[in-house]
Amino acid sequence: MTSIRTVGIEFADQLVGLWVDTFMQAYDGVHTPENIRAYCAANFTAERAKADLSDDRTRCCAVFRDGRPTGFYILKDHDCPIALEGGSAELKQIYVLAKEYGSGAGRALFQDALDAVRGFGRAWMWLSVSDLNQRAQAYYDKNDFEPLGPGPVFEVGTDRLTSTIMARRV
């Protein structure tokens, strides 16, 4: 059985595990193992998880299959750096374990995130996606996101990646 629920600070250790596992699976073959490990060590810590999970402007939801977390999203209620009328919230991350690809878990998480943005009273969901992440770009294109302009540079170990800010009306 699959379910989605909002998680809090008690989920910090599990979030760290999901961050690492899903990031490694999503970027295997894109970055060297050394760069992936360096990125995970620098960014996916218990301290960061606790900070994100205790931030009033942040919502983290996880999808569970048979009681085990298999994916998550992190949504932050703050405006896009490119002005969008009606306010916006950022989809910081949305990942599922590779074994869940095609299971509907990602789709369910995405729909829940859209509902949360509406609940925040915002008109738009926005995100930054690496220009090398073609799988994610195709997913966002399929889900009505439009490119708005250049995003931040992501550093994964020694790799520097350009990104694009994308948004969609909710």
Number of domains in the chain: 1
Domain harbouring 125, CATH code? 3.40.630.30
- pTM metric for this prediction: 0.93
What average pLDDT does this structure show over 102-127?
A: 96
Range of the domain at 105: 2-169
Of residues 167 and 136, the one with the higher pLDDT is 167
User: SS3 letters for 41-77?
Assistant: HHHCCHHHHHHHHHCCCEEEEEEEECCEEEEEEEEEC
| pLDDT exceeds 90 at position 97 | yes
